[in-house]
Chains A and B, each alone.
Chain A
Amino acid sequence: MNFDFSDEQKQLRDEARRFLDENCTTKEVRAILEGKDVYDRKLWKGLADLGLLGIAIPEEFGGAGAGRLELCIVAEEIGRALAPVPYSSTVYLASEILLRAGTDAQKKEWLPKIAKGEAIGALAFVEGPGNPTPGGMKASVSGGKLSGRKTLVADGGVADFAIVAARAGSGENTLSLYLVDLKGAGVTRANVETVDPTRNHAEITFANAPAALVGNEGEGWTLLTQALDRAAVLVAFEQIGGADRALYMARDYALDRMAFGRQIGSFQAIKHILADMYVSATLARSNAYYGAWALSTDAGELAEAAANARVSATQAFQLCAKQNNQVHGGMGFTWEADCHLFYRRSNLLALTLGSLSWWEDALIERMRKRNAA
């Protein structure tokens, strides 16, 4: 058994970490938080130059042609750095959907641009409160024109194109995926403020926007859930990256800060908080690794492994981030300390792709399916 990343993959991690340590400190994250721009363009360009935007895109479409394990490695570093860039929307969602379901022409048009950092993609599926259901989506397409409203699209304000879930008719199984050029006609966008302003979100209204089918008509729900499963593994890596960094930030503070004549890290209440953070982060890491294996091999276990990784990583990052604030005392509630950057990101990532309760439900459903088989 070799349930670990290879030496070359670990080298890639070191490279990505070195690059992000230099180019994505919390100063850069704060610049976006404070509204200097909608995403870090310089960092995006740097990621493109390093080949990290197209890392999992085949060479024929301008990428590096590496596998999903390499992508998991990069995802962890993106999460660790709280990178304020549209990486997950573009790389885990848009480009992965095109790779799996797009036409050759669609791949040729968009994937090389993604790899070069010249196009940002997004996935538009949220219509109002509640987790996604196949019946809940009202946006529709007729005669190749899409109309409807997607209320919260991650990176929707900065994306060049979006994969949009919409109905091809009024019947039951008509949900389909479409590619829409967001710079084209019939698209209006308004940025939405969220719990984590370091990642752009927008509401997008489509009024007869030209839309091209991605995959088959009526296949939308299947493609969407598959895409969310695959992205869940990658986002789980972002989450364990963030969880780990919040854990060690809290540990370091506990060693530095004195109270009652002692390091606060010598109080058991603090030690036990940190031990629980470590436990949660460790479980989440191991679950994410299993998700990585399933993703990289397209295993039959992927759906269950993804839900498992997602539940675990969401809980770990939320726990580590909120307890990092707690260990920092009053300082943890300031704008100045970096704690809230992790808190914001952990809460955003807990909701994106569907919230925790939705994934918990999915995990049980998938366990039942396996048991019945």
Chain B
Amino acid sequence: MTTEARDIVSEYKWGFHDAEEPVFRSRRGLSHEIVDQISRIKGEPDWMRELRHRALDIFYTKSMPSWGGDLSEIRFDEYFYYVRATDRDARSWEDVPEYVKRTFDRIGIPEAEKKFLAGVGAQYDSEVVYHNIREDLEKQGVVFLGTDQGLKEHPEIFRQYFGTVVPPADNKFAALNSAVWSGGSFIYVPPGVKVDIPLQAYFRINSEAMGQFERTLIIADEGSYVHYVEGCTAPIYSEDSLHSAVVEIIVKRGARVRYTTIQNWSNNVYNLVTKRAVAYADAVMEWVDGNLGSKLTMKYPSVYLMEPGAHGEILSLAFAGPGQHQDAGGKVVHAASNTTSMIVSKSVSKGGGRTSYRGLVKVYPECGDATSSVRCDALMIDEDSRSDTYPTMEIDADRVTIAHEATVGKLGEEQLFYLMSRGLPEQEAAKMIVNGFVEPIVKELPMEYAVELNRLIELQMEGSVG
């Protein structure tokens, strides 16, 4: 192992893996046969199996994105597309297999559930192994299930919405996900119900050369509210893994959904995710997207503002260390008049890491009286790091107010001197500046996650200056 690799291993405390054999693993590579196998094991209705096959055909015909990060080393034939650790989705931690539970214990999930969550889902490789929701919420009709179980228990809702926000043909990775999806969260919040504390799902890749393709579908009915939080980690392996999720969210009239991601993949994960929400009249959709870790992340949470009064917000945070590329940002499409949006992006790169902000604000013709503000700030910790900005504005309507601000800067010498002149050692001063830099996003998180995120950033900052 090179010194650099060792450093990364020692900094990344979720790099452990469990050696237990899964109960089922598809053979390497992708084919219609494997798609069939996945669908059969899951006991799916015909329409879903057919959708998967159609999606695979689309995947074969679509070319790889020519923009974004370097995808040339992805070998689709090398991955395991479906790995099932256990046969059941438990409702009690007692029923989760011991070795899987050990993993989630180390990550602290059961503890977090007790302390501050309304519900928890846990996915281990391809399948959701645990999910639970507070009883009072369940009584109010809130549904929080693994997506496979959602399909079984709520086929009518499922069929109405699945693939409508992110159709398989949207992009190559959305097609791939649609073909081999497994796991993810299915959430339905009935009209007027407000889920006051967060629901959380935790995604863990355990196997080497694994493809994880969770699929999340959230429907917030009129006037409801839900905050969903996802966290992700993976072990460190020499072979790359692929995480390619699709998230679809429907925010109905007057509802509000907040979707928070604290992703901390190990450095051997390609993270290529399509996240999109549609927001109807007076609805609010908020993405809070914290991207740490991974080899390459390409992720641009989007909001389609479909009816007057809809509001979309994307807060994106990216941290790229050695060997990492975070190509992140957000998209807002104003497809109705009187809609508002905001994108805030903060990125930090160090040790040769690379961050790119990629954003789109689109206002369709006849969709005037739209207001949008975009702010992206990039901070580079050292000379080796890199940051680029690709903002796109497509404004085809009148009476549109767009504010755009972008800054790219190095860790400020004067800031550093100021803090050091008060007694803070250089590293501590640098951490403080970086934590301050990302504060506008971190302060949007529930306290527990804010603390966690600050801690993750501090870990990433160790050994970065001086």
- To the question of whether A and B form a pair in one complex, the answer is no
